[in-house]
Structure 1
Amino acid sequence: MEENNSIPDGWHLKQVVEFASKIQSGGTPKSDNLEYYNGEIPFVAIDDLSKSNKYISKTQKKITNKGLLNSSAWLVPKYSLLYSIYATLGVPRINLIEVATNQAILNIIPKKKIISLEFLYYLLLEKRNTILSHSAHTTQSNLNAKVVKELEFVFPKSTIEQNKIAEILSKIDEAISETKIIITKYNRIKTGLIQDLLTKGIDDKGNIRSEETHEFKDSPLGRIPKEWDCLELRKCIELHNNKRKPISALVRAKMIGEFPYYGATGIIDNINIYNVEGEFVLFGEDGDHFLKWKNQEQTILVNGKFNVSNHAHIVKGNHICSTKWLHYFYFHRDITFHLTRQGAGRFKLNKESLSSLPILVPRDINEQIKIIDKIEYLNNFINLYKIQNEKLQANKTGLMKDLLSGKKRVTHLIN
């Protein structure tokens, strides 16, 4: 797999079988025997690899010792390399606990004097696409023990150099992990905050209202501040459906232009058929499309010029309700409860059902603006971390390619 003529000084070419003391897949106890499951032995499946990052420290299932003895599963010592060979191919993980695995996972115990575990993890991760490409050109679509044993890699002879490379990449992984934790934390905060902002609002002092400190009233959508109204959407919008244009799939495929086109499947770039200028919210009309979009992502706030088919309603706020308020209110609200099924059990968001949707609206447009500002501030804050995460991911990809090929050496960093 590797080119022999590209071996850096101090590196060598070896097959996996040469640097592994044991390479063996696992097995699965019969699923219909209850005595084999819910035991004390962590049992790793492909799902566990997919849902983890670098390390495996817990599993979704556990098996009993009896299940272990009556299957091809075996106890894989901690600090081994678990490598997926079926389904999601070529995913490496390090187990921090003793585990058993199913047959879709090849367990590799490396020879510590030849290759370090952490380095092997990054090596297999970086070479994954190459390995999958190599596998795709063979008669065996999946990987197997024989294929993996014969894989060959160029890597440093010195485990000290290997460890330094792994250390550098681990630090980037730690930074990525910390960034993801922050994003997850603030997304969770955002979910709760938006729910409060869009149902309780903020008073003239900038505080979220509560029934303990403010006056509320009943509405079809629950308790709301006395300064708010629950209205039918028709009272709050301008509907611009006359600007829609039906386009066949055949015609759409041949169109090229500068404006995005909104059809039954969402936004498509580079289509020039009909454009509308301004800020609008689009509601997907077709039942199949409508149900595919979860968490109200069928509402898309569009700024500037765009094109739209007859599968989307074009909505703009009026003097009662800002366009952005429409967007944020419905983006975070399930409206299927207010719709009826038509045809073969499908929902249809037609003009009348759209116009009849209930919406909560602060009477003071300035309160709407303040709430939107708070939501967008939090969105921008989260997006900054998302951008940082993307940059870290890109840096990691580049560093892995350079460090694991010997293009960039780390010998000067070794004492």
Structure 2
Amino acid sequence: MSKTVSESWRTALIGEICNIAIGGTPSRSVSEYWDSTKSFGHPWVSIRDLRKPRIYETSEYITDSGIENSNVKLVKKGTVLMSFKLSVGRVAYADRDLYTNEAIAAFIPKSKNVIFNQFLYQGLQSWNLLENIDQAVKGITLNKEKINLIEALLPPLPEQQKIATILSSVDDVIEKTHAQIDKLKELKTGMMQELLTKGIGHTEFKDSPVGRIPVEWDALLLDSVARRGSGHTPNKAKQEYWNGGIEWVSLSDSSKLDRLYITNTAKKISKLGVENSSAVIHPSGTVVLSRDAGVGKSAILTKDMAVSQHFMAWVCSKKLDKHFLYYVLQLWKPKFEAIAIGSTIKTIGLPFFKKLQIPIPPLQEQERIAKALSSVDVKIFELEDKHTSIEAIKKALMQDLLTGKVRVNIDNKEAAAA
């Protein structure tokens, strides 16, 4: 494979090779424009729908009347879509005829002899979209004029097809892995609902402050079976309070939560930072829960750590298994999100946790329930790690193949097919 781009590659502006169609939004004040039942209308794509490579179902549907009384445009099946406002650069295929809002651009190649549609899909994930950006009040945004100025690097058509085939095969693995993760998460949700409310093998139930539970279970204040604590943020102006080697769980670690254990943190504080603040070092095995931004996210500490004031922390007594508590908090995450209040940062006040009651099965049953749920989590985490690894491979391949750094070999049969 040659490591240089040959003269057969060329650059072109998107506006030279594609027509760009921008969608619209029917009036929200006219209910006749919207099909809330999704039974007779047409799929209408917004940015929140651009989460999978192919879009078939959408969050909202519009009616024929909504189409007639707005500037939405029909997008044919197979068309490449891209978000260009706020979340710039999310790319997907239309998997059926549909419509889009004004934050989504549809790319229609002017000639099949210039750009291969699947190559366009891959290229939009690699080409420099941000060279002509505007910094909008609420974030990064493009417009149709600037989309037309995006510069595409185009190899000959046979090479486009070969590159797209290679990258699409990786996309297929990513998509299948994602589907496996979704199925396991759905299974876990069902298992939590069943095991944490009905237990294992029970036939008789009773009402309790936490809902219907087996008659053998108790409903107790969490404070009666675990020692509750919180944390603090040392003075950020004092450099000697920071980078001292003590793990410190903060909102910066949000992405590390909800994965059963947290093993390290983005920021660390010093012994002086602990001594000169209200920060507390919690022992390994402590269960922590975010009560502010990212409300309801939880984890179990794998080593002694401090936490910020945005977290609650519980050290379980011998009556409460830490893994069981973690999964109860996971089950109740939607409840925590619902009760959080605040205009800027939603938060749950301390009085709520002082009164919080939880179901308490016999300890052996707690352990069995936690073991069953953690076995599913292990499989989810393995697949998520695989997903991350494959995405890294895809990124590296795109860097090589879409820039011409590494060339693909085209045989005569492939050249003729193109």
Q: TM-score scaled to structure 1, two decimals?
A: 0.76
Question: Could you tell me how far apart the structure 1 residues matched to 2:54 and 2:308 are?
Answer: 47
Corresponding position of 2:288: 282
Partner residue of 1:374 out of 362, 372, 376 = 372
Matched, 1:146 2:145: yes
CA distance in 2 between counterparts of 1:44 and 1:149 reads 24
Other structure's SS at 2:78 match: coil
2:214 counterpart of 1:225: yes
Structure-2 residue corresponding to 1:305: 304
Measured in 1, the distance between the counterparts of 2:308 and 2:87 equals 38
Matches within 5 A, 1:360-371: 360-363=359-362, 365-371=363-369
8 Å Cα contact 2:43/2:62 also seen in 1: yes
- How large is the Cα RMSD of the aligned pairs? 3.8
CA deviations 1:60-108 (Å, max 9, x no partner) are 23343x6656655444444333343434334443334344444444433
Aligned to 1:62: 62
Of structures 1 and 2, the larger Rg is shown by: 1
Moved more, 386-395 or 164-173: 164-173
Tell me the amino acid that sits aligned with residue 247 of structure 1: P
Q: 5+ unaligned residues in a row in structure 1: which ranges?
A: 1-5, 202-207, 285-289
Size of the aligned set, in residue pairs, is 377
DSSP-derived class of the 2:178 partner: helix
Q: TM-score, normalised by structure 2?
A: 0.75
Mind listing any 5+ residue stretches in structure 2 that lack a counterpart?
A: 254-264, 275-280, 414-418
Could you report, residue by residue, the CA deviation over 1:234-286 in whole angstroms, capped at 9, with x for unpaired residues?
A: 43234567xx66734544896222122246887652212333443212356xx
Indicate the larger mover: 264-273 or 375-384. 264-273
For the 8 Å contact 1:14–1:153, the answer to whether it is kept is: yes
Query: Match of 1:3?
Result: none
1:247 is aligned to 234
Is the deviation greater in 401-410 or in 68-77? 68-77
Counterparts in 2 of 1:81-230, with a 5 A limit?
A: 81-110=80-109, 111-127=111-127, 130-136=128-134, 142-157=141-156, 159-201=157-199, 208-211=200-203, 215-230=204-219
Identity %: 27
| SS of equivalent to 1:220 | coil
User: 2 CA distance for matches of 1:26 and 1:313?
Assistant: 45
Q: Quick one: distance in 1 between partners of 2:101 and 2:384?
A: 35
What SS does the aligned partner of 1:411 have?
A: coil
SS of the residue corresponding to residue 199 of structure 1 reads: helix
Q: Distance in 1 between matches of 2:222 and 2:382?
A: 34
Cα distance in 2 for partners of 1:320, 1:179 equals 39
Give, in whole Å, the separation in 1 of the partners of 2:213 and 2:66.
57
Q: Quick one: distance in 2 between partners of 1:143 and 1:58? A: 26
Per-residue displacement from partner, 1:363-411 (whole Å, max 9, x unpaired)? 3x33322222222111111111111111111111111111111222222
Distance in 1, Cα, partners of 2:355 & 2:392: 47
Residues in 2 aligned to 1:32 and 1:356: alpha-carbon distance in whole angstroms: 43
Q: Deviations over 1:303-357 (max 9, x none)?
A: 21212456655432222223333333233226769x999xxx985325xx64543
